[in-house]
Amino acid sequence: MNKAKSRPHGRHRPVGAGRARATAVRNAAVAVSLLGAPVAVAATASAGPADAATGPSPAATSRTTHAAAASCPASFTSTTPVVGVATPPSATGYWEVDQAGQVAALGGAPCFGSLTGVSLNSPIVGMAATPDGGGYWLVASDGGVFAFGDAHFYGSTGGIHLNQPVVGMASTADGGGYWLVAADGGVFSFGDAHFYGSTGNAELVQSIVGIAPTGDGHGYWMVARDGGVFSFGDAAFQGSMGGHPLNSPVVGMTVDSTTGGYWLVAGDGGIFAFDAPFYGSAGSSAISAPVTAISATDSGAGYRIALADGHVFDYGAATYQGQASLPPGTQLRCLSSQITPFIAGDQAGLGNVAQAIGLQNTSSISCTMYGYPGAALLATNDSALPVTTVRGQDYLFGDPGPAAITLEPRQVAYFDLGYTDMAMGQPGSNRIEYTLPNGTNPVFLALPSTAYAYPFPDRINVNAIHPAPTFAS
């Protein structure tokens, strides 16, 4: 399904207060079972490093950067995926940015600098243009903000620990402020951006993946991985894909400035239009990489989507002006939108419990993994239990160590999570949270009803991702 003209049942739950507080850097999102019961197909593994993956990164110090790199070539030197696209008003061009902070200025879009060659504590997850097109901001998963051109630095969350990673940002109507949104829907307001509400204190079915402002800046929408839409301030709820089956998770949204409606985009390029014209999608096309971002034209008469490998597809009045390119031979890491997790098995003995987690590539595109996932156990309000995640073997499983894993479509890789189960007086968990190696989007996975977790002592063990199951149910 690539088009939504009707307004199917959605989720509109503006609740909670802003969450400029936190306890631990961790990652959490939600997995969607898209293709029914997983079919286990052996993945391939090879020895030797790809990129060392260790889950969440330490918090970075936010910086105002105006010209870390003076040029914005389309040929990127990093092998990290493209994660953002932004269109300046009244311009024929646009910008793309990758996780390393490299910016490509394409068509008539001017270059205001990039983070090429700058060592980042956390990867870039998105970008936003200033209203006049004279600059842009980049935002990292720790909430560090980097300003270029006439974009001003108004603050960040780069110096505090977050309950959930930042997944996106949006500018106010006059460019005098911006909002950051975290995966739990916590909203952080800076400059003249007002706080209109959040989902930061709610238990979400699926994690937030993006934020978009209203035209006057007096409200905003947030979209979740399952296509659920949350409206705040003067943002009008026009519908969502929440509660509807998706071929691929939603990865972003953008606003039609003419109608006040919006478009959602899925990882396979499917477009869902709500009170906005449908101009086309890539949902039925064979694309070279997952879609990671969407940007509308200033008039609202079109939109463009960016793929992880830099390819750009334009629809309506949006015109193609080129694309970023990754180094030749780049094998893209698996993105969370490509992976459907499932409980592959469990074991218990002498007070110890272990869960085998399967990670199936349910996209049509091959990808790679290497290293250890980020992992945590979630309480019922989506906060992480106060436990330490230790990489290595457990009482019930060993640790094969990092190895490069190639996942073709439908293939499965695995990791195991173990803990000592002591129910007396300990807080419990009914969901696992994990982040793919070097990933930025967290994923939730419900535990079986018979496996409610009471970890004691305060630690869980997780081994490296491997190509064959350690055990099965």
With beta carbons less than 8 A apart as the criterion, state whether 415 and 405 touch. no
| Residue 355, CB-side half-sphere exposure with 13 Å CA sphere | 29
237-266 as b/e, with b when 16 or more CB fall inside 10 Å? Answer: bbbbbbeeebbbbbbbbbbbbeebbbbbbb
Distance CA 219, CA 72 (A): 32
Express each pLDDT in 352-411 by its tens digit: 889 999 999 999 999 999 999 999 888 766 677 778 899 999 999 999 999 999 999 999
Hey, CA dihedral for 364, 344, 334, 429, is it positive or negative? positive
Q: Does residue 234 have a pLDDT over 90?
A: yes
Q: Who's near 90: CB < 8 A, 6+ residues apart? A: 133, 298
Instruction: Identify the residue with better confidence: 192 or 17.
Output: 192
Residue 368 pLDDT: 97
Residue 427 pLDDT: 63
Three-state DSSP state, 97: strand
Express each pLDDT in 35-54 by its tens digit: 222 333 334 333 332 222 33
Express each pLDDT in 114-166 by its tens digit: 999 999 999 999 999 999 999 999 999 999 999 999 999 999 998 888 888 99
Instruction: Identify the residue with better confidence: 158 or 224.
Output: 224
- Work out the number of other CB atoms within 10 angstroms of the CB of residue 89: 13
Residue 472 pLDDT: 67
Q: Does residue 292 have a pLDDT over 90?
A: yes
Average pLDDT, the chain: 83
Distance CA 75, CA 116 (A): 12
Residue 338 has phi, psi (to 5 degrees) of -90, -15
**If pLDDT is split at 50, 70 and 90, which confidence band does 14 have?**
very low
**If pLDDT is split at 50, 70 and 90, which confidence band does 93 have?**
very high
Residue with tokens 């802003």: 18
Name the residue among 462, 89, 54, 64 with its Cα closest to residue 297. 89
pLDDT > 70: percent of the chain: 81
* Domains defined for the chain, CATH in brackets: 58-316 (2.130.10.10), 336-462 (2.60.40)
Tell me 458's DSSP state.
Answer: S
**If pLDDT is split at 50, 70 and 90, which confidence band does 254 have?**
very high
Q: Does residue 300 have a pLDDT over 70?
A: yes
Express each pLDDT in 196-206 by its tens digit: 999 977 878 88
| Residue 204, CB-side half-sphere exposure with 13 Å CA sphere | 37
Residue 61 pLDDT: 36
Residue type, 207: S
**Residue 389, CA distances (Å) to 18, 346, 356 in order:** 27, 19, 16
Q: Does residue 463 have a pLDDT over 60?
A: yes
Residue with tokens 């977050």: 162
Distance CA 318, CA 267 (A): 20
Section 68-74 average pLDDT: 81
Section 229-254 average pLDDT: 96
Express each pLDDT in 159-193 by its tens digit: 888 888 999 999 999 999 999 999 989 999 999 99
Distance CA 464, CA 115 (A): 31
Distance CA 270, CA 293 (A): 12
Q: Who's near 215: CB < 8 A, 6+ residues apart? A: 173, 255, 257, 260
**If pLDDT is split at 50, 70 and 90, which confidence band does 66 have?**
very low
Query: What is the DSSP code string of 266-325?
Result: ETTS-EEEESS-----STTS--SS-EEEEEE-TTSSEEEEEETTS-EEEEET-------B
Express each pLDDT in 409-459 by its tens digit: 999 999 999 988 765 555 677 788 899 998 988 888 888 765 566 666 678
Q: Report angle CA 392, 30, 36 to the nearest 5 degrees.
A: 100
Distance CA 308, CA 293 (A): 9
Please tell me the pTM assigned to this model: 0.84
| Residue 28, CB-side half-sphere exposure with 13 Å CA sphere | 33
**Residue 472, CA distances (Å) to 93, 349, 409 in order:** 52, 15, 22
Section 328-341 average pLDDT: 94
